[in-house]
Chain A
Amino acid sequence: MNNASLNGYRMRTRAMSFLTLLIMCIGAWVMVYPYFYAVGNSLKSRAEFTHDKRSLIPPRLSPSKLADHYILGKSDPAQEKLMKDWPPTRNYREAIIYGGIDRFLCNSFLYALVTTAGSLFFSILAAYAFARLQFPGRDFLFGMLLTTMMIPSVVTLIPQFLVIRSLGLVDSPLGVVLPSFVSAFGIFLLRQFFLNIPAELENAALIDGCSRWGILWKILVPLSKPALITLGLFTFMGAWNAFEWPLVVLSNENLYPLTVGLALFRDQNTQDWPRILAAGVMGSFPLIALFYAAQKFLTEGISLSGMKS
């Protein structure tokens, strides 16, 4: 009887862990389904999409058709004509030719890169001062900086536009990136990181005649690499995903980042969804690639918590 109840317990835990796995798998499917949907439908020809908006695999690229062609070497004139008329890359090519997605991608890349570099540089400087230097009003100024984190962007959107306009920066790349050069969160995080680095090393360097500036760049920054990379990645992502601000500042289409460009492209191609989805896939791929390249830093970064805003 004891044995039987133990067996029952084992069965129950096994069933529980199976159920857990099942739910997580269903959740994972929900998470990846939109990506499969986007990629699958971005490969469809216009006719295929009109005929069937739901399937994930375009009929002319179905596994059996591909196997017939590539493995069994069967020749099917109808299939070959379909492939010739609408090669898998056609929507992608057209999104670039007609929508200028490549230019939007370049713009996004530049904005994100400059934002990241600028905000990291300024954050490092400020964080160093707040962590290591003594000066009157330090805590007050730091507290002031922190409060800027709490101001919702919806309040600052209009005045930031007015400020940028009075600086003559509307419709210029600098106008897009300038407001995000200051990151109170970045300063907060880096200060925290600098404080956790023991000061002995720096004091030794100071005695050896190294300047404050040299200490910052030769000792503190190299030691803070993980924090800097994580912060940099999140800044990059935030800049890449930004939509409302560039939408407000820019009216010259040549300067649009990908997000604004995509919204424009959608308005210009309302009927051509495979092409729109192809453009969307191209727009999200770079970040996903970046994420894979830097996965280790990101998962560590999550535990630093609350980075997304």
Chain B
Amino acid sequence: MRSKRINWSAYLYIAPAFSLALLFSFFSMGVSFWTSLHQWDPFTGGGRFVGLENYHRVLWGVDSLFWISLKNTSLYVVMMVVGMMVTSLPLALLCRKVRALQGVFRTLYFLPSITPGVVVALIFYQIFGVFGQPLDKSGTALGAIALMGLWSGAGYNMLLFLAGLNEIPTDFYEAARLDGANSRQEFWYITIPMLRNTLVFVMVMTIIGAYQVFTSVYVMTQGGPERSTQVLAFDIFMNAFSVAGQMGYASAAAWLLFLVIGVFVVIQMRLLRSRRIYDE
């Protein structure tokens, strides 16, 4: 029996969170777009309206690092997605089979998730220095950073997959076994379809996260050697906060990156909506 009376005080309850969200998300988006249309002057704090010139400079400017950053970032994303799928899902399948030590494994594999990214990058910088120095060569640097990204994220995604696997009713497998299915068929016709939501979720989150890779590049390579690890988030950061007067340019680059990520954001939104229906 829920009262249908309108509680005007509800607005007071949501006011703090909502005003902050308004300020730091929606208003900020507007500011970002406004900035991207201006040539930003760091000294007066104001800007000169230049229309779409910043976008033009990002896309076609002689000194623009946008395309090389986009190429590197996309390569990194591909490495991360493929790497995640071939490590965290198989690890989850194996981990489920282990009886005695499962808790220990879960804990150990989770450790990287609770270690600050800066610390991880510092340790790996040194480890890479000892084992073949991949960060010093333009052909291997990005791969090394992806390897570190995998190390940081694989355990967490393994736990997500484990949670997904545990939700699959065991009768499905029993029924399949009665029908004479072998374990490969069980995997492709039960496990994978039933894990679809988790799979998409992990994949989309990996893509969105990887497109914004920053800390590891900032700490380990600063975009080098020979710009082989120049990624978009780093390019944007440098333009906005290291090079004077490039805030408008950086905002334009950020919007273009947002367009790229946007596709995956829409997928994620759809997924979230379907989850909500499922939960309620």
Contact = CB atoms under 8 A, between A and B. Distances in A.
A210 interface: no
B257 to A, nearest CB: 6
A30 B151 contact: yes
Given A195-B280, A308-B113, A159 B32 contact: yes
Contacts of A291: 110, 114
How extensive is the interface on chain B, given as a class?
Answer: 35 or more
Given A145-B18, A146-B272, A263-B219, A244 B28 contact: no
Interface in A34-62: 34-35, 37-38, 41, 53-54
A88 to B, nearest CB: 19
Interface in A99-125: 122-123, 125
B146 to A, nearest CB: 15
A257 B28 CA distance: 24
A305 B201 contact: yes
B85 interface: no
A258 B117 CA distance: 11
A280 B201 contact: no
Interface stretch (B48-56, B59-67, B169-177, B208-216): B208-216
A77 interface: no
A154 B236 contact: yes
Interface string A129-159: 1100111101001001111111111111111
A266 B215 CA distance: 14
Contacts of A241: 116-117
A123 B17 CA distance: 7
Interface in B201-236: 201, 205, 208-209, 211-212, 214-215, 218-219, 232-233, 236
B168 interface: no
Contacts of B116: 240-241, 243, 258-259, 262, 283-284, 287
B101 A21 contact: yes
Contacts of A122: 16-17, 20
Interface stretch (A3-11, A68-76, A78-86, A174-182): A174-182
A303 interface: yes
Contacts of B261: 152, 154
A172 interface: no
B244 interface: no
Given A21-B101, A277-B123, A283-B116, A154 B254 contact: yes
A262 B118 contact: yes
A241 B192 CA distance: 33
A66 interface: no
Contacts of B178: none
Residue with the highest number of chain A CB atoms closer than 10 Å, among B2, B13, B237: B13
A92 interface: no
Contacts of A181: 16-17, 20
Contacts of A271: none
Interface in B229-250: 232-233, 236-237, 240-241, 247, 250
A178 B14 contact: no
Contacts of A303: 163, 166
Given A133-B9, A154-B257, A156-B24, A20 B114 contact: no
A121 B4 CA distance: 26
A28 B29 contact: no
A40 B201 CA distance: 37
A123 B97 CA distance: 39
Nearest to B23: A163
9 contacts: A24-B101, A54-B130, A133-B7, A150-B268, A151-B25, A157-B236, A159-B35, A182-B16, A183-B17
* Top 3 A-B residue pairs of the complex, sorted by shortest distance between their CB atoms: A129-B13, A159-B31, A159-B28
Interface of A: 17, 20-21, 23-24, 27-28, 30-32, 34-35, 37-38, 41, 53-54, 122-123, 125-126, 128-130, 133-136, 138, 141, 144-163, 178-179, 181-184, 187, 192, 195, 199, 203, 212, 237, 240-241, 243-244, 248, 258-260, 262-263, 266, 273, 276-277, 280, 283-284, 287-288, 290-291, 295, 298-299, 302-303, 305-306, 308-309
Given A160-B24, A291-B110, 8 more contacts: A38-B123, A122-B20, A126-B14, A156-B29, A284-B119, A302-B156, A303-B166, A306-B205
